[in-house]
């Protein structure tokens, strides 16, 4: 893939593709595997052209067996390779669940040997694709020690966090919301620049395509917007809804702080508590289902460690506890949106 000129816009999908290519060029131990990732280029064309560039020994199709693909990848990682497995859809990862939570996650504790494995998970709804192709399943893995879980919202974060995930000695679940792929863009110079000038907490610039700070690290949240009245904590596609909601209510005199977690495990708990203490009113928004979603864990930590700073109950906005409907209007009624976030922010401000 040709390197884009600094003035060109880079999509979220292109940033992920570039991260894979750069990692493979720099480290011959990195290889890709998954269903249709070779000649077809993957379900969303993230790996298009890579078979021609790197050959069949580094870009491998697998049978329709997520358990088999992940098992092979774990074995390869134990032998010193750095595999990156693509799930066609994050939903299908359930077929490889045992290999992830009982093998990859625990291998270091059993043997002392690292498992440098990345599993890319295209997740999320909004396309009317139904219950088997639309879920946000990150919470399944947040209950398993030994796994890292990353969910970037911007092209710059997508690029650098994937590079970091590939270098990491632990297995990493890397969640890519499908609505981000071609909708969210940033200048190439901002995405790929590894320059300094920031402490990594000014995420709207670093993540959103403005002046780039140092590359984000796994376990480091980003403040997308400074605010005084209400804090909204989110990640992935929902972080963009949070920013839009903050713009909506700003016209009403409500100042919203927006925190993008970027990494769910390890959690940047310090950033979460700092943002909660700053405003005393917190909304946690995510697309995963409400019950058992990560919002519940965040709310518990805030209640436990920042209770004396709260001026209102910690609120959650999430997907209802139902399977994803096929009908687009029904699905839209379930999804978090900027207007839904704005309404909860208004309620918190008035508490």
Over residues 51-72, the pLDDT tens digits come to: 999 999 999 999 999 999 999 9
The CATH number of the domain covering residues in 9-185: 3.40.50.970
Q: How far apart are CA 30 and CA 80, in angstroms?
A: 10
The answer for residues whose C-beta is within 8 angstroms of residue 339's C-beta and 6 or more apart is: 245, 248
pLDDT at 2 over 70: no
Architecture of the domain made up of 219-349: 3-Layer(aba) Sandwich (3.40)
Determine which of 172-186, 188-202, 309-323 has the lowest per-residue pLDDT on average: 188-202
Q: Give the bridge partners for 315, in sequence order.
A: 283
Q: Is the pLDDT of residue 206 over 70?
A: no
C-beta separation of 152 from 304 below 8 A: no
Q: What is the pLDDT of residue 4?
A: 54
Residues annotated as catalytic are: 133
> Looking at residue 213, what is its pLDDT?
78
Backbone Cα Rg of the chain: 20
Mean residue pLDDT across the chain? 93
Using alpha carbons only, give the angle 137, 142, 147 rounded to the nearest 5 degrees. Answer: 110
- Domain boundaries for CATH 3.40.50.920 within the chain: 219-349
**What residue ranges of the chain are covered by domains with CATH 3.40.50.970?**
9-185
Burial class (CB in 10 A: 0-12, 13-18, 19+), 260: buried
- In 3-state terms, what secondary structure has residue 233? strand
Separation CA 8–CA 5 (nearest Å): 5
- Choose the weakest-confidence range: 75-89, 124-138, 245-259: 124-138
What pLDDT score does 212 carry? 57
């Amino acid at each position: 893939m040709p390197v884009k000129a600094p003035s060109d816009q880079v999509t979220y999908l292109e940033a992920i593709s570039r991260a894979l290519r750069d990692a493979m060029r720099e480290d011959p131990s990195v290889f890709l595997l998954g269903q249709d990732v070779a000649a077809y280029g993957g379900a969303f064309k993230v790996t298009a052209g890579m078979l021609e560039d790197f050959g069949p020994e580094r870009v491998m199709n697998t049978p329709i067996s997520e358990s088999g693909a992940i098992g092979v990848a774990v074995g390869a990682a134990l032998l010193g390779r750095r595999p990156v497995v693509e799930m066609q859809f994050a939903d299908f990862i359930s077929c490889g669940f045992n290999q992830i939570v009982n093998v990859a996650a625990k291998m270091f504790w059993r043997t002392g040997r690292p498992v440098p494995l990345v599993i890319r998970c295209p997740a999320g709804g909004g396309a009317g694709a139904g219950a088997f192709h639309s879920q946000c399943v990150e919470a399944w893995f947040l209950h398993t020690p030994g796994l890292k879980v990353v969910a970037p919202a911007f092209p710059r974060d997508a690029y650098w966090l994937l590079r970091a995930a590939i270098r990491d000695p632990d297995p990493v679940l890397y969640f890519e919301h499908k609505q981000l792929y071609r909708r969210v863009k940033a200048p190439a110079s901002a995405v790929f620049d590894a320059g300094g000038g920031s402490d990594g907490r000014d995420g709207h610039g670093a993540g959103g395509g403005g002046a780039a700070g140092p590359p984000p690290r796994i376990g480091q949240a980003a403040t997308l917007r400074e605010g005084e009245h209400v804090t909204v904590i989110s990640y992935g596609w929902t972080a963009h809804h949070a920013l839009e909601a903050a713009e909506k209510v700003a016209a009403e005199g409500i100042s919203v702080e927006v925190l993008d977690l970027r990494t769910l495990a390890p959690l940047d708990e310090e950033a979460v508590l700092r943002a909660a203490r700053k405003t005393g009113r917190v909304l946690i928004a995510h697309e995963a289902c409400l019950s058992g979603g990560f919002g519940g864990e965040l709310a518990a930590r805030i209640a436990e460690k920042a209770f004396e700073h709260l001026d209102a109950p910690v609120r959650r906005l999430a997907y209802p506890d139902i399977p994803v409907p096929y009908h687009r209007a029904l699905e839209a009624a379930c999804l978090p949106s900027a207007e839904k976030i704005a309404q909860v922010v208004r309620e918190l401000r008035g508490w």
